Amino acid sequence: MRADPPGVRHIALQTTDSTNAEALRRARKGEAGPLWVTAEVQSAGRGRGGNAWVSERGNLYATLLMREPSPPPAAPQLAFVAGLAVHDAVAACASNLGPVLQLKWPNDLLCNGRKLAGLLIEAENTPVFAAAIGIGINCVSHPDNAAYPATDLKSEGVHVTADALFAALSEAMRSRLTQWKSGEGFASIRADWLRRAAGLGEPIKVRLPDRQVSGRFSGVDDSGRLLLETAGRTETITAGEVFSLGAA
């Protein structure tokens, strides 16, 4: 596997604990990036909230390490940038699935209402601010017992290798990062993301650390926070898990 955009290096590993963990270890040792880290297998892959990410051979596991990609307050926007890049890459490799691909706030790609890919953005300030954009895409297999129903490209009738998908992803990420311009272009990123958003304008449920809320998904604000209309008011949600969609 290789990353085509100039100026972006790529380290391909057979196995690692986690591509995000490997990228951040390198950042602590002075790696400046941008650097892609991919692995055929992860022994301790992880998702949001400390959840395990099942990492069997044949799927794509990749992390883009970036040093000071933006001012730290704008870093959460990378979830939307990366989500669009993942959508672009899958649509490019499986054009027949384009109409059934949607982005679920804040970090998943759905196919026919089932989770096809997930993202995990992690950042550290040692020795300088660095962000690891972790991406997992189910090419040939998916977990059967996940909290949110999952799928993979093979199950959807599409045969795409992790290599081919990574080539498309690296180019799509370059394009979306150029559009984002370290946060200055988030308005256009936000607009593009909303056009692909799952459940927009429909009833959803969001699991928060201390409670569960229901309402109508009315959009995301200028910072990327979810806007939920409930009980005659709009609630702004910074972090949570959307686990039920009216469109699913």
Q: Is pLDDT at 130 greater than 50 in this prediction?
A: yes
How distant is the alpha carbon of residue 190 from its chain centre?
14
1 part of a folded domain: no
Amino acid 88: pLDDT = 98
Q: Hey, what are 144's tokens?
A: 């059967």
- Say if residues 136 and 109 touch (Cβ distance below 8 Å): no
Range of the domain at 136: 9-194
162 part of a folded domain: yes
Number of domains in the chain: 2
| The dihedral formed by the CA atoms of 15, 19, 24 and 30, expressed in degrees to the nearest 10 | 60
| Phi and psi, residue 116, nearest 5° | -105, -30
- CATH number of the domain that residue 49 is part of: 3.30.930.10
Same domain, 97 and 184: yes
Same domain, 52 and 154: yes
4 part of a folded domain: no
Q: Note the pLDDT tens digit of each residue in 198-246.
A: 989 899 998 888 888 899 999 999 989 999 998 889 999 888 888 765 4
- Say if residues 105 and 79 touch (Cβ distance below 8 Å): no
What is the pLDDT averaged over residues 84-99? 96
126 part of a folded domain: yes
24 part of a folded domain: yes
What is the pLDDT averaged over residues 130-150? 90
Q: Single out the residue in 194, 216, 236 at which a domain terminates.
A: 194
Burial of residue 42, with CB atoms counted within 10 A of its CB: 0-12 exposed, 13-18 middle, 19 or more buried = buried
235 part of a folded domain: yes
Same domain, 212 and 186: no
- Provide the whole-model pTM: 0.92
Q: Note the pLDDT tens digit of each residue in 35-76.
A: 999 999 988 677 665 566 666 889 999 999 999 999 988 999
Q: Hey, what are 147's tokens?
A: 């909290």
- CATH number of the domain that residue 211 is part of: 2.30.30.100
Same domain, 85 and 127: yes
3 part of a folded domain: no
